[in-house]
């Protein structure tokens, strides 16, 4: 007989972190605990990683839905299959907790060479928005610490300043030295987007994420058709849960890449549906975490490794917080490692 409970936990950023949607200083996660009533010491833990203003399940009844799921945990498969379509982060948290319980609470959701500490996942170094000097400092730090791929968010400071940053990077580091991705988070207006893409294309970028706001399929399709640099969609995937909808979006827009954020699209199974559709349509993809704690990051990283995608993944956000949980995860020279000799420190949570 399964039992379940939950706990809300507020993660505090080490420094205010800027996006095109504003400055982040805190981020809430809800953790679901699942156990067998006959063995209550072994608990599976799943993280419901909600992003305010972005997640489709950022709604007033979010807490009530978690309570409902915990009170009806015997029906967990029904919730995963159909009952949480409008609550992708809860669906993912529940999926994660059940997999962790199956692992006897070891946080080993997917056994692999990664969890054995024999292999690592190459990741991009994330540069946060800020003033020119702050962003330049971050870029230098990422490159000197061994990252071969950096991603920085654009759209918050003057566009010409952002181009100057890119120009400075390319003066010192060629496309063979460092791969550059940029993320606009929908900051460009449709009528200016193509001009800005043309300007950005001069700097040998790998891709740009979500140049215009999601939901403008015709305009996005036109951009993807004519763009001088590859376009990757992430926000565009949010809120699309049924396979016919996913198929229609992919075939209508025809992006060069899609980006999977399990907390935002509904977990592992939902992400795998997107991947299958992308591959059928010869569209590239990679996986990105979405500001989860190390618990969520651990689950996403283990799953990502099993997909055997050799592109740099976006899994490096676990170091952002002052009160994150001690874990076996570690970043060395632009790669994410799992050290099986290290344990978990969950004293603040349990």
Give the mean pLDDT of 177-186. Answer: 94
* Contact assessment for residue 43 and residue 101, using Cβ atoms and an 8 Å cutoff: yes
Give the mean pLDDT of 15-32. Answer: 80
In a domain, 239, yes or no: yes
Q: Is the pLDDT of residue 216 over 90?
A: yes
pLDDT 10s digits, 225-270: 999 999 999 999 999 999 999 999 999 999 999 999 999 999 999 9
- Shared domain for 191 and 73, answered yes or no, is no
Q: Is the pLDDT of residue 278 over 90?
A: yes
Residue 19 banded pLDDT, cuts 50, 70, 90: low
CA–CA gap between residue 151 and residue 181 (Å, rounded) = 4
Mean of the per-residue pLDDT values for the chain? Answer: 94
Q: Is the pLDDT of residue 136 over 90?
A: no
In a domain, 308, yes or no: yes
- Shared domain for 52 and 142, answered yes or no, is no
Least confident of 9-23, 186-200, 246-260: 9-23
Look at residue 21 in the predicted model and tell me its pLDDT.
61
Q: Which residue has the higher pLDDT, 64 or 347?
A: 64
Which CATH number characterizes residue 239's domain? Answer: 3.20.20.120
Residue 215 banded pLDDT, cuts 50, 70, 90: very high
- Shared domain for 280 and 325, answered yes or no, is yes
Residue 127 banded pLDDT, cuts 50, 70, 90: confident
Look at residue 108 in the predicted model and tell me its pLDDT.
98
For 126, counting Cβ atoms within 10 Å of its Cβ (0-12 exposed, 13-18 middle, 19+ buried), the class is buried
Give the mean pLDDT of 83-94. Answer: 95
Least confident of 49-53, 103-107, 224-228, 276-280: 49-53
For 134, counting Cβ atoms within 10 Å of its Cβ (0-12 exposed, 13-18 middle, 19+ buried), the class is middle
Q: Is the pLDDT of residue 187 over 70?
A: yes
Look at residue 348 in the predicted model and tell me its pLDDT.
86
- Shared domain for 67 and 132, answered yes or no, is no
Look at residue 54 in the predicted model and tell me its pLDDT.
87
- Shared domain for 223 and 304, answered yes or no, is yes
**Residue-number span of the structural domain to which 84 is assigned:** 2-102
User: Which residues does the annotation mark as catalytic?
Assistant: 153, 261
In a domain, 110, yes or no: no
Residue 320 banded pLDDT, cuts 50, 70, 90: confident
Least confident of 154-163, 180-189, 327-336: 154-163
CA–CA gap between residue 275 and residue 259 (Å, rounded) = 9
In a domain, 115, yes or no: no
Residue 316 banded pLDDT, cuts 50, 70, 90: confident
In a domain, 346, yes or no: no
**SS3 letters for the chain?**
CEEEEEEEEEEEEEEEEEECCEEEEEEEEEEEEEEECCEEEEEEEEEEECCCCCCCCCCCCHHHHHHHHHHCHHHHHHHHHHHCCCCHHHHHHHHHHHHHHHCCCCCCCCCCCCCCCCCCEEECEEECECCHHHHHHHHHHHHHCCCCEEEEECCCCCHHHHHHHHHHHHHHCCCCCCEEEEECCCECCHHHHHHHHHHHHHHCCCEEECCECCCCHHHHHHHHHHCCCCEEECHHHCCCCCHHHHHHHHHHHCCCEEEECHHHHCCHHHHHHHHHHHHHCCCEEEEECCCCCHHHHHHHHHHHHHHCCCCCEECCHHHCECCCCECCEEEECCEEEECCCCCCECCCCC
Q: Is the pLDDT of residue 218 over 60?
A: yes
CA–CA gap between residue 330 and residue 180 (Å, rounded) = 22
CA–CA gap between residue 290 and residue 296 (Å, rounded) = 9
Domain tally, the chain: 2
For the chain, give the percent of residues with pLDDT over 90. Answer: 84
- Shared domain for 159 and 223, answered yes or no, is yes
Distances (CA, A) of 338 to 111, 117, 147, 305: 11, 5, 18, 11
Q: Examine the fold and report which residue of 71, 102, 133 is the final residue of a domain before the chain moves on.
A: 102
């Amino acid at each position: 007989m399964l039992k379940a409970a939950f706990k809300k936990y507020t993660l505090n950023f080490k420094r205010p972190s800027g996006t095109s949607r504003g400055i982040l200083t805190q981020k809430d996660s809800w953790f679901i605990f699942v156990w067998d009533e006959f063995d209550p010491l072994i608990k599976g833990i799943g993280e419901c990683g909600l992003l305010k203003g972005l997640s489709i399940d950022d709604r007033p009844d979010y807490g009530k839905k978690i309570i409902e799921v915990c009170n009806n945990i015997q029906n967990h498969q029904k919730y995963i299959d159909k009952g949480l379509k409008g609550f992708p982060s809860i669906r993912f948290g529940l999926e994660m907790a059940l997999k962790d319980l199956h692992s006897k609470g070891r946080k080993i959701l997917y056994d692999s060479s990664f969890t054995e500490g024999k292999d690592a996942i190459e990741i991009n170094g994330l540069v946060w928005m800020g003033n020119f000097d702050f962003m330049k400092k971050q870029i230098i730090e990422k490159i000197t610490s061994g990252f071969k791929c950096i991603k920085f968010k654009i759209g918050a400071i003057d566009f010409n300043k952002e181009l100057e940053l890119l120009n400075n990077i390319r003066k010192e580091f060629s496309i063979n030295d460092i791969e550059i991705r940029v993320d606009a988070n929908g900051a460009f207006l449709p009528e200016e987007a193509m001009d800005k893409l043309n300007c950005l294309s001069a700097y040998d970028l790998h891709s740009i994420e979500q140049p215009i706001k999601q939901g403008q399929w015709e305009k996005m399709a036109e951009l993807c058709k004519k763009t001088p640099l590859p376009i990757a969609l992430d926000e565009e995937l949010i809120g699309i849960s049924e396979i016919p909808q996913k198929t229609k979006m992919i075939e209508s827009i025809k992006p060069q890449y899609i980006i999977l954020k399990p907390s935002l699209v509904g977990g592992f199974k939902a992400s795998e549906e997107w991947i299958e559709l992308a591959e059928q349509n010869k569209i590239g993809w990679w996986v990105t975490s979405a500001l989860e704690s190390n618990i969520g990051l651990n689950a996403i990283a283990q799953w990502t490794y099993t997909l055997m995608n050799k592109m740099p993944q976006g899994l490096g956000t676990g170091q952002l917080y002052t009160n994150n949980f001690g874990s076996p995860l570690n970043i060395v020279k632009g790669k994410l490692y799992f050290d099986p000799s290290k344990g978990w420190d969950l004293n603040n949570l349990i």
